[in-house]
Structure 1
Amino acid sequence: MTSEEHWNQVYRTKSPLEVSWYQPWPSVSLDLITLANLPPDAAIIDVGAGASTLVDALLEQGCSAVTLLDLSTQALEVSRTRLAATTRARFLTADVLTADLPEGGYRLWHDRAVFHFLTRTDDQVRYVQQAHRALAPGGFLVIGTFAPDGPSRCSGLEARQYSAASLSAVFSPAFRTVEARQQEHTTPGGQVQHFTFLLLQRQP
């Protein structure tokens, strides 16, 4: 089963409100995005957006150029249906590692829980290269991964865990760390998962 088939299967068999990563309000992501202090028309890409409600919050705050990228057409269709009344979001079905993204096309890149599924070093390197290329000089990257005491598997897949220091090291020197946060996320099933979040800034 390909990665695309895997995630389409997840969203075919579970409600978006039942998946372990569901959160009604993405508070940490929004706090870090706010720290980036971007204008409302700044181009933002949410990598692994799935059916996340982050886009809803961003649109409510006046953001006018949000792109949702995900491997799963099934997941993006959930968001497309939910956001049917607005045309301010763009939908892109693609693998972040191979997606043809515009060079310097975004001011902010957001990823909550994609990077920790990249267990191969070459995939991690490719991810950093993609983010650096797609972000404009001085642009920001908000990333959330499982913390050192977070799960080692999720949705049947192996996952990596990161401290703020180890995650920062993976993105250095292409990015510098601006802010680090920790989060206790409670899943719809009542389990607590620990996350590490960073706000990073693209270096020349």
Structure 2
Amino acid sequence: MTETAPTAEEFWEDFYREREQIWTGNANKTLVREVSGLPAGTALDLGCGEGGDAIWLAKQGWQVTAVDISTTAMERGAQHAAAAGVQITWARHDLHADFPEGSFDLVSAQFLHSPVEQPDERATILRKAAAAVAPGGVLVIGGHASWPTWVTTPPHEHVSFPTIEQVLEQLALGPEWQVETAELVYSPSTSPDGVEGERADSVLRLRRG
């Protein structure tokens, strides 16, 4: 009998239930770099996981709506937010099929990569993310640009990492948008076996006029 592939919800629930904590709890460096110094307003954090980015944003004065497909991840995020003394709105969404309503001064999409995503799914979500940015607001996209240098055989062969140029092409933004950041950032990366290397990430900050 052919084994049925897990749905996105099943995959991410299993992913988060494997351990009591998956991420460090720190905000993504790509987000911190691009948002520090911006005037606080309303923010939408897509794929919030255990809430590291959302909590950091809330501490900077942002009114944050944090979204993920995993209830387990968001429950942990809510616990961490309560411990940090910040208020965050948590909402479960399967972003491909069910995107949050409203417009926001900041929309953050950090490392929205999934081994179970369908073709063009990430691009569709990013286009919806751009549509949710209020006039004058910014869209910050952080994404892996490659596997770490110590990876010799990719664990998910069908997963691809689009270039900055490909992301911009997928977004198909209108003339009211301005590209403020479009860079590759290289960071140290260590394998589970202790092999030292690095990984390239792409960073985009786009402002809607």
- For residues 44 and 180 of structure 1, do their structure 2 counterparts lie closer, same or farther at Cα, with a shift above 3 Å needed? same
Moved over 6 A (4+): none
State the match for 2:81 in structure 1. Answer: 83
- For residues 138 and 183 of structure 1, do their structure 2 counterparts lie closer, same or farther at Cα, with a shift above 3 Å needed? farther
- For residues 180 and 23 of structure 1, do their structure 2 counterparts lie closer, same or farther at Cα, with a shift above 3 Å needed? farther
State the match for 2:93 in structure 1. Answer: 94
State the match for 2:165 in structure 1. Answer: 165
State the match for 2:48 in structure 1. Answer: 49
Q: % of aligned pairs identical?
A: 21
State the match for 1:131 in structure 2. Answer: 129
Kindly report which structure 2 residues correspond to 1:65-80, keeping only aligned pairs within 5 A, or say none.
Answer: 65-80=63-78
SS at match of 2:45: strand
- For residues 82 and 124 of structure 1, do their structure 2 counterparts lie closer, same or farther at Cα, with a shift above 3 Å needed? closer
**Is the 1:116–1:145 Cα contact (8 Å) retained in structure 2?**
no
State the match for 1:60 in structure 2. Answer: 59
Instruction: Give me the whole-angstrom Cα distance separating, in 1, the residues matched to 2:105 and 2:68.
Output: 19
> Which amino acid letter does the alignment assign opposite residue 131 of structure 2?
R
Kindly report which structure 2 residues correspond to 1:1-204, keeping only aligned pairs within 5 A, or say none.
Answer: 1-17=6-22, 22=24, 24-34=26-36, 37-38=38-39, 40=40, 42-63=41-62, 65-85=63-83, 86=85, 88-103=87-102, 105-114=103-112, 118=117, 120-121=119-120, 123-148=121-146, 158-174=158-174, 175-181=177-183, 182-184=185-187, 186=189, 189=192, 192-202=198-208
The count of residues paired between Structure 1 and Structure 2 equals 193
> Which amino acid letter does the alignment assign opposite residue 177 of structure 1?
V
Structure number with larger C-alpha Rg: 2
Where does structure 1 lack aligned partners over 5 or more consecutive residues? none
Where does structure 2 lack aligned partners over 5 or more consecutive residues? 1-5
TM-aligned CA deviation for residue 13 of structure 1: 0.5
Structure 1 vs Structure 2 CA RMSD: 2.9
Instruction: Give me the whole-angstrom Cα distance separating, in 1, the residues matched to 2:188 and 2:21.
Output: 16
Q: TM-score, normalised by structure 1?
A: 0.79
